[in-house]
Amino acid sequence: MDFRLYNTLTRQKEIFKPIRAGEAGIYTCGPTVYHYAHIGNMRSYICEDGLVRALRFLGWKVKRVMNITDVGHLVSDADSGEDKMEVGARREGKSAWDIAKFYTEAFFRDYNALNCLMPEVVCPATEYIKEMVDLGLALEKKGFTYSIDGDGVYFDTARLPDYGKLAGRAHVEGIKEGARVEANALKRHPADFAVWKFAAPGEQRQMEWDSPWGRGFPGWHMECSAMAMKHLGETIDIHCGGEDHVAIHHTNEIAQSEAATGKPFSNYWMHVRFLVTGDSGKMSKSAGEFLTAAVLPQKGYDPLAYRYYCLLTHYRKQLEFSWEGVEAAARGLDGLRALAAKVKAEAAGPAPAADRNAKHFQDFSAALADDVNMPAALAVLWETLKDSSIPAPQRLAFALAAEEVTALGLFKAEEAQALPEGAAALIAEREAARKNKEWKKSDELRKALSDKGVLIEDTPQGTKWKLARG
Ligand code: AMP
Ligand code: ZN
């Protein structure tokens, strides 16, 4: 089955043609770890997780790379203003490095709670300074950079004829006209962006490195180009991110990668529209007030109810956040889980292999293959579970297959009931220990669980368990 994806670069839905047959190399812009990720950020990761899971369901092999922006960057996209990591460090009286570590861990806690699959490669920018310097040197050698004394090395956007193609040329003209007075007057064009920024004389930054141009730190677009190309090759299949990245971050990733290699950087660009709040518009980390995924259990919601809430709206539609919406999604998910439990009881035995040629299976696959149409796929799931003309064992087989894509914990209610008392807490404790690399503790917990008759298996999709007698 062809897989179609809307490509921001061409502004149309296209049949996905991979670089290597049957494989998809995907790069996802990861979190900036100077604060908690908010539920808007999480919408992007849930939808991107949907892409990965849909591709795998349809038979593709996926390798995904995600960066962690732990290098301090400047609050303004115009390469000016304060350094975000230093702002976080000052706010909390910690070092910039501790801030990065703390918020990276917090991010993956939320990410896991929302059942998003770990990328195959997770790369913190601070570990790729050399790759970024090398990219800067390649750009310099080809004449794409210029230096501003005491400020930094900049990418000369006028040297690249198709600069701005992702957002459209009108956008670049707009930058010129809309450039604010405080923008760096020494840049040749307001769209030019930093490849390397110099540490200001006399200023001791917590994060700074030596480079052929002087001590300082990389420009913020550099990390994604350097890391994507290092792990996925000079041309990658699919690059994802939220819609805010189209105009500047991804535009500049394309510019510096393509200027350095002379090859297309990414064949497909997938952008998730924003989660917005009715009163203040978009949710943003720098604006201070925002909701995190940790608020969900505090309000009595399973984080997967938020996942369901997100999957009910196509990723290319803006989603206006409301608690009423989350409440409705939570009730809907309860209903779906009850239906799954009923089907399982009716099937009264292990599920057979799913019939991939059955109409419901084909319809579900077709929805996923049509630009990851999760709302349509979920509608097929509901209809199929309710359809008593399909034998219960087949419905069960389908539900199990659909769970691999939707990851809504369809059998969660039932599983929790089946666990012996106290085991769920031990499993959670063991997951936390593993995340903290406390291997000894994790082994002890495994033993405690096995004494209760619960067998643990660690898989790339996370920890799974089964009952010894089950
Ligand atoms: P950041 O940590 O700010 O770099 O953002 C992490 C990811 O979340 C990026 O892909 C952003 O484009 C995305 N993002 C930021 N705000 C929102 C929002 N309100 N809704 C959906 N995605 C967002
Ligand atoms: Zn990026």
Within 8 A by CB and 6+ apart from 254, the residues are 165, 166, 265, 266
Mutate to test the pocket of ligand 1, among 76, 224, 244 (most ligand atoms within 8 A of CB): 244
Instruction: Output the pLDDT for position 417.
Output: 63
279 pLDDT tier (thresholds 50, 70, 90): low
Instruction: Output the pLDDT for position 407.
Output: 98
Give 2 Cα–ligand 1 centroid separation in angstroms: 29
Instruction: Output the pLDDT for position 173.
Output: 74
| Whether residue 470 has pLDDT greater than 50 | no
Instruction: Give the nearest ligand 1 atom to 33 CA.
Output: 2
Supply the Cα-derived Rg of the chain in whole angstroms.
Answer: 24
Give 30 Cα–ligand 2 centroid separation in angstroms: 7
| Whether residue 105 has pLDDT greater than 80 | yes
User: Scanning the structure block, which residue is given the tokens 């539920």?
Assistant: 39
Residue pair 38/292 in contact by the 8 Å Cβ criterion: yes
Pairing type for strands 319-321 and 275-277 reads parallel
What tokens does 315 get? Answer: 């990723």
What value does the mean pLDDT take over residues 90-110? 91
Neighbours of ion ligand 2 (CB under 5 A): 29, 224
Rounded Cα–Cα distance for residues 391 and 44 (Å): 37
CB 291 less than 6 A from any atom of ligand 1: no
Give 249 Cα–ligand 2 centroid separation in angstroms: 6
By three-state DSSP, how is residue 84 classified?
helix
Give 29 Cα–ligand 2 centroid separation in angstroms: 4
CB 272 less than 6 A from any atom of ligand 1: yes
Burial class (CB in 10 A: 0-12, 13-18, 19+), 263: exposed
| Whether residue 205 has pLDDT greater than 80 | no
What value does the mean pLDDT take over residues 359-372? 98
What value does the mean pLDDT take over residues 200-210? 82
Rounded Cα–Cα distance for residues 173 and 413 (Å): 55
Instruction: Give the nearest ligand 1 atom to 240 CA.
Output: 10
For residue 67, which ligand has an atom nearest its CA? 2
CB 310 less than 6 A from any atom of ligand 1: no
Residue pair 157/255 in contact by the 8 Å Cβ criterion: yes
Instruction: Output the pLDDT for position 154.
Output: 96
What value does the mean pLDDT take over residues 34-54? 96
Burial class (CB in 10 A: 0-12, 13-18, 19+), 400: middle
Tens digits of per-residue pLDDT, 322-346?
999 999 999 999 999 999 999 999 9
CB 29 less than 6 A from any atom of ligand 1: yes
195 pLDDT tier (thresholds 50, 70, 90): very high
Give 41 Cα–ligand 1 centroid separation in angstroms: 4
Give 339 Cα–ligand 2 centroid separation in angstroms: 40
Tens digits of per-residue pLDDT, 395-443?
999 999 999 999 999 998 666 667 777 887 788 788 888 888 889 999 9
Tens digits of per-residue pLDDT, 72-84?
766 555 566 677 7
Rounded Cα–Cα distance for residues 321 and 224 (Å): 29
| Whether residue 296 has pLDDT greater than 60 | yes
The beta strands (E) that lie in 225-383 are given as 236-242, 266-272, 275-277, 281-282, 319-321
pTM of the model: 0.87
What value does the mean pLDDT take over residues 388-393? 96
Instruction: Output the pLDDT for position 88.
Output: 82
Mean pLDDT of the chain: 91
Instruction: Look at ligand 1, atom 15, and give the residue with the nearest C-alpha.
Output: 41
Instruction: Give the nearest ligand 1 atom to 69 CA.
Output: 4
Instruction: Give the nearest ligand 1 atom to 243 CA.
Output: 12
Instruction: Give the nearest ligand 1 atom to 32 CA.
Output: 2
